[in-house]
Chain A
């Protein structure tokens, strides 16, 4: 079945710097890609979703890149601020009826003021 690796597990950046989180997946049939943010004591908040026909998507200071050749998905937070500090998860789905999301292992991002 699909496996998702996420790195780095921990990331600390100064305020204003960019932060990059990378996921690699194994199933070339994977069709849907997601990034979620989890703050302490809270559930997962959907940040962005992309379909496999999209290579790049930007929204509100976030950039998602999808490299299907290398089966790699990345999230770039430009100009990070302390409010971005949280755990970030990538998730993928092969798609089709009844397909669940497979999550990466998470990245704890700390943005230092």
Chain B
């Protein structure tokens, strides 16, 4: 079991460029979560899919950020017109949904996005 795989590990973009981050969940897991981690804000929830359907995107900035899960083997987080304040580590996690309502998240190593 390779765990949650995130690519790339590091991405540097210029201000105004687009960034696409990829996540491959653990095989058989039904949920995928995206979090953003910064020193100032800590771990912020962005969005969540279950069985590929979007469930909760309450943490996603309304502009420029979008996430998709076109199939059960990968999810993408896209940031259009990146800004320096988007610089962060973006973490993806998957969950097998053990039990009636527990979400136990298994995290990838993250993508460090740097916007110059």
List chain A positions with a Cβ less than 8 A from chain B: 31-32, 34, 36, 41-46, 49, 51, 89, 91, 93, 95-106
Minimum CB distance partner of A41 in chain B? B109
Beyond A45-B107, A96-B101, A98-B55, 10 additional pairs, beta carbon < 8 A: A32-B102, A44-B107, A46-B106, A49-B104, A91-B105, A93-B103, A100-B59, A100-B103, A101-B103, A103-B42
For window 22-48 of B, CB contacts with A under 8 Å fall at 33, 35, 42-43, 45, 48
**Chain A proximity mask over B93-116: 1 for CB below 8 Å, otherwise 0:** 100000001111111111000000
> Roughly how many angstroms separate A9 CA and B42 CA in the complex, as a whole number?
12
What does DSSP make chain B's interface, helix, strand, loop or mixed? strand
> A100 to nearest B CB, angstroms?
5
Whether the Cβ atoms of A42 and B55 lie closer than 8 Å is no
Minimum CB distance partner of A99 in chain B? B103
Whether the Cβ atoms of A95 and B102 lie closer than 8 Å is yes
> A85 to nearest B CB, angstroms?
18
Whether the Cβ atoms of B43 and A103 lie closer than 8 Å is yes
- 14 A–B contacts from the bound complex (CB under 8 Å): A31-B101, A32-B102, A41-B109, A42-B110, A43-B93, A46-B104, A93-B102, A96-B101, A97-B101, A98-B55, A100-B45, A101-B45, A103-B42, A105-B42
